[in-house]
Structure 1
């Protein structure tokens, strides 16, 4: 009896998993080849590994997209495989089917389930690699690796910008720095109220297009202080002045935004993601990139 025919998606999924395993083996070999005390070479290795992973991910994405471009008719024929084959002699086929044992039926059922599972895996890989969130994360990882940094995830609850700054200040252990989200929000609102001329001109009513009235501006500041209102560039500008520290905001597809450059200190570094979650925009913190030369395989 003929075996179960694999679909192109299943074959490609298996190939990709093999290539990922081969890549991990290659990376491990690269790690082992560098002495632990060779810090310069280990730093170069971090960037090399990031490029290897990015190149393989890009290759897989292109292969998946090429496979998807197959016409619907061709895909249907491949997916149906043996099931769509017509039997010239119906009576002969019926006789063969009647002789299929229960054990063979169980094997066929198990093989069919495995085939379906492989198809689901392949489909999930297509969705993952083509997703804008995946692509954005990949680009950010490459940018950050050049600075020996990596993303540190911050919860998405409306306070993400303030939580990311809170995390950055905690990493710096700045003496006397404002560290809690509540204090950061309060200080931001206080700065904006006290310097309305610096912020009010940039706020407009979305319905009328007119600049905020005094009452609307106060409502905006109150939301900054007391609610989970999302923070943006205006709030970052206020915080740079409160903290007397510059802020660098790294993005995937744009140049790094620098705020508060008048302050001569090491900047707070944030990551801005447009597609991080279902609601869209999100801020994360960063941390020192874990040394792949010492990291254990997962």
Structure 2
């Protein structure tokens, strides 16, 4: 039988998630600054160090508070044990040593986890030659030619829709709903491109309905089929810029201002991800002179 997670283990798990989220944010910050912009790179390093220091301090304080609370509980157990010993004479209670050992074990585990994550964070900041960094540089260069830069979108499964939502007066829920409805109403245009990953067979009607339902009601990741549906729903062209391939333009038959997305294959170590774009901020070149 699995033991129920202790409050301290739950706290450590939350800390781990917060550190991962921070690393995702840091990666986006690094991707947005060209390698040759040394002044901004130096500022970025300082900003990253501040973010990591603040989060580390917050986590240390929370762990300290947790251990303080745990220490109070241990003391209560010790007092109860001592009372039982006085009443029972010969009885020897082993509860207090077990609690102490468990607490030491948890403390050791927390310290090891903290050290490991600190090493990972340091390696991530210094990994200027990694595939994610290289992808970010290539995208930054392509976007700068259009006077654009990456606008960070959260990696929560809704990224493609959120990137479009950011450029339109449409809400995420509405975009998902309209996408799913369009695919249902034009099944012949979409069903042939969907196959069961286990059998290789084309989706059945039920499988297709589940696919559409997931697109509407869950955080199911959106891809090229959903982009095609969205161009038809919005009557607008969508362009997807990639680091190592020519950009893809969908819905060229439609007039209107193009919606631009950035497709990232290596983002955050989580695999595929879509970001938005925004106007390129003023260069710091004048300040560097």
Same fold (TM over 0.5): yes
Which residues of structure 2 form unaligned runs of 5+?
1-32, 42-118
Give the count of matched residue pairs.
Answer: 176
Structure 1: distance between partners of 2:285 and 2:36: 18
Contact 1:150/1:286, CA 8 A, preserved across alignment: yes
Match of 2:241 in 1: 250
CA RMSD of superposed structures (Å): 2.6
Tell me, yes or no, if the aligned pair for 1:245 and 1:264 is still in contact at 8 Å: yes
Higher relative contact order (CA 8 A, sep 6+): 1
Alignment partner of 1:168: what SS? coil
2:197 to 190, 197, 206: 206
Q: Rate the CA distance shift 1:163–1:127 in 2: closer, same or farther, 3 A.
A: same
When residues 126 and 220 of structure 1 are mapped into structure 2, their CA distance, relative to the original with a 3 A threshold, is closer
Q: Of residues 196, 211, 215 in structure 2, which corresponds to 1:220?
A: 211
Larger radius of gyration: 1
Structure 2 distance, partners of 1:212, 1:145, is: 41
Q: Which residue of 2 aligns with 1:42?
A: none
Output the CA distance in 2 between the equivalents of 1:151 and 1:295.
Answer: 22
- Cα distance between partner residues in 2 of 1:145 and 1:126: 23
CA gap of 1:143–1:213, structure 2 versus 1, over 3 A, is same
Give yes or no for contact 1:246–1:266 (8 Å, CA) kept in 2: yes
Structure 2 CA distance, aligned partners of 1:50 and 1:153? 16
**What secondary structure is seen at the aligned counterpart in 2 of 1:239?**
helix
1:159 corresponds to 2:165: no
- Unaligned runs of 5+ residues in structure 1 are 1-48, 58-119, 171-178
- Counterpart CA distance in 1 for 2:171 and 2:34 is 34
Deviation at 1:266, TM superposition (A): 2.0
| TM, length-normalised to structure 1 | 0.55
